[in-house]
Structure 1
Amino acid sequence: MALPQTPESNPVDYIDDEDFISLEIPLEMAGERLDKVLAGSLPDYSRNRLKAWVEAGAVMVDGKVTKARYLLMGGESVKVFPREMPEQFALSPEDISLDIVYEDESIIVVNKPAGLVVHPAAGNWSGTLLNGFLFRYPELKSLPRAGIVHRLDKDTSGLMVVARTPHAQTSLVRQLQERTVGRRYLAWVWGEPPSHGKVLASVGRDQRNRLKMTAGSPQGKPAATLFRRLAKGLVGESAVALLECRLETGRTHQIRVHLESLGFPLVGDPVYRKKTPGVAKNLSFNRQALHAFALSLQHPSLDKLMTWFRLPPQGLLELLPKLGMDGEVLPNEASVMGSMQNEPQK
């Protein structure tokens, strides 16, 4: 196969405002797929990146945009216009406002707002919590995932801890694995849950919808959620309740999936909504009503148990009267801090 020609090696093919790579397809490559030929000819680029360029219209065969599975006839002229890929900016610092609750040389505790993605991924390569941390704490770039050791869903608000040193990151990961990190959430749900309970059901990827998780999946991982009811209310004739949830494990979407499996979907949840009453549309609340209000852990360097508390954001506070509840049903900071400090460590 002819070697790729750069604009410098073949100035006749140079386009003033765009650099490109030129390939001439030998006749013996007839019948081969375009993506396979590109992968063999341009080993410096990953198959996924080359495929993305084809799909973005950045690869032309005889002057025409085509598909990755296009079967070549041999003799074609292919031009590849390298594009910057979004994941290149995943670790770029961005000036994003952060509500820092606590920081020292080892850890950072942040109160994440709803709507902010924690870590860059497909569809959200920038504008994430990680990008904001890299702007405010440039040293985090040397740590895996910029020191992030656990996550909250995009539309879940509340407390998270981030490591600032390799020692702190190792300690926090170990505590999460040993289930000694205390994490408490407030969840507004539809239905009439009992005064307290515990959900023991594996959580795994839904085989029919890969964007969702499901409870009781044979391929899932063990998961446990404890809950107690703090208050009851009504929206029209539909029952609603406020729960305090405590995680023993930290699976993706765990609280949302577990409570829906019991028939108590979260208010506002756009994904897990089985048994959500029709009156829900009157609330105009379009994200899961879930807030991580308390966090406790053994400080990696100070060798003491530390606890943090944050009330829900204004949007959730304003939801209370709409559900027939008032602010007095919310946990008291002093009592929560005391109970978590005295909670036995596993």
Structure 2
Amino acid sequence: MSEFLELDATIPESSAGLRLDRALADVFPDYSRSRLQQWLKEGAITVDGATRRGRDPVKGGETVSVRAALAPDAPSVAPEPIQLDVVHEDDDILVLNKPAGLVVHPGAGNPDGTLQNALLHRHPHLEQIPRCGIVHRIDKDTSGLMVVALSDRAHTTLTEQLQDKSVGREYEALVSGTFTAGGTVDAPIARHPRDRKRMAVVASGRRAVTHYRIAERFSAHTLLRVFLETGRTHQIRVHMAYIQHPLVGDPVYGLRPRLPKRADDTVRDALAGLGRQALHAARLVLQHPATEETMAWETPRPADMDAVMDVLREHDRRMAL
């Protein structure tokens, strides 16, 4: 069943001259601009008893009434009791450490068993929140931190923070090859012109900026700390491949495993056997939607990445003897 919403408010005198949709965003901050605009189009919002257009100016002092159904965002997605590694949870947000292998949204080939199924089981009310509260995503085979909005207010605020790039996201990436220093990749990304399942650096693409610094060196590989300035699909994976340093284990953008000199079977098996891109969302920083407090979380690398790095360290130690 959809929840029916009834709200009444007065537009403050200080809003005089603003467009109605802008004034409504100030009066009802718990709801997104897009949702308020949709309600205006549906006639679910009245001003002094009459329907109005979003672009109409307000004078201040008008009475606004909302009578709207909060339709479920994804009614076809079934709740499933999937265990989640929750790092933080309150009335507005849930921060989790997503394991590699967990798909975020249902889709072709993954109709169930996703993070969205798990969230709907844990919080059934999320069917009333756009995209079930998922404001950003990480790839199926990338591990690490994600934040989920548990309220309309949080969804609106977190979406705005992501758009204005105030959410800090830091990744750990094990890549092929060595570096002399950190740097930045500023290269636009779009769908690959021939393979629509892949992304690529394309001149006509959307701007994408990735910053990186060296965290640990190996003889033929490097662990990088990677900072996203933008959030394009597969951004880190595409950018690292573009500069000829693909992620270890990347099945889409990687090359054959790059081996250190005199690599033995242990090294070969470790690099070939990871089975996913060596990428982990290690740190997340954001402003809490309700308290406006700056909050940060960190989570350690998963065991599979650490195991590969242990093999590389041991190989380099033996070669140095």
2:84 alignment partner in structure 1: 98
- Of 183, 200, 218, 2:203 maps to 218
Give, in whole Å, the separation in 2 of the partners of 1:226 and 1:325: 29
Residue 117 (1) aligns with residue 99 (2): no
1:89, 1:125 within 8 Å by CA — same for their partners in 2?
Answer: no
- Aligned counterparts of 1:251 and 1:202: Cα–Cα separation in 2: 9
1:138-175 CA-to-partner distances (Å, cap 9, x unmatched) read 11110111000000000000000000111100000000
Deviation per CA, 1:97-139: give whole Å up to 9, x if none.
Answer: 1000000000000100000000111111111000000001111
CA distance in 1 between counterparts of 2:134 and 2:107 reads 14
> Which shows bigger deviation, 290-299 or 187-196?
187-196
CA distance in 2, matches of 1:281, 1:89: 46
Aligned residue among 231, 250, 264 for 1:269: 250
**Which residue identity lines up with residue 228 of structure 2 in the other structure?**
L
In structure 1, what is the Cα distance between the partners aligned to 2:278 and 2:226?
Answer: 12
1:282, distance to aligned residue in structure 2 (A): 2.8
1:323 counterpart SS class: helix
1:198 to 184, 189, 195: 184
CA contact (8 A) 1:197 1:228 kept: yes
Question: Alignment partner for residue 290 of structure 1, among 279, 285, 293?
Answer: 279
Equivalent residue of 1:117, what SS? coil
TM-score (norm 2): 0.70
Match of residue 41 from structure 2: none
Any stretches of 5+ residues in structure 2 without a counterpart? Answer: 1-73, 316-321
Q: Is 2:290 the partner of 1:304?
A: no
- Do the aligned partners of 1:90 and 1:131 also contact (CA within 8 Å) in 2? no
8 Å contact from structure 2 (residues 133, 150) kept in 1: yes
Partners of 2:178 and 2:218 within 8 A in 1: no
Provide the aligned C-alpha RMSD in A.
Answer: 1.8
User: Measured at CA, do residues 104 and 325 of structure 1 come closer, stay the same or move farther in structure 2, by a change above 3 Å?
Assistant: farther
Distance in 1 between residues matched to 2:169 and 2:191, nearest whole Å: 23
Structure 1 counterpart SS, 2:158: helix
| Alpha-carbon distance between aligned partners in 2 of 1:94 and 1:150, rounded to the nearest angstrom | 21
Bigger relative CO (Cα 8 Å, ≥ 6 apart): 2
Which protein is bigger by CA-based radius of gyration? 1
Q: Which amino acid aligns with 1:112?
A: K
Q: For the residues of structure 2 that align with 1:260 and 1:129, how far apart are their CA atoms?
A: 28
Equivalent-residue separation in structure 2 for 1:319 and 1:180 (angstroms): 33
Name the structure 2 match of 1:24: none
Give the TM-score normalised by structure 1. 0.65
Code of the aligned partner of 1:258: H
Aligned pair partner of 1:249 in 208, 213, 230: 230
Tell me the CA shift for residue 274 of structure 1. 3.9
CA contact (8 A) 1:167 1:300 kept: yes
- 1-structure distance, mates of 2:113, 2:307: 27
Match of 1:189 among 147, 171, 175: 175
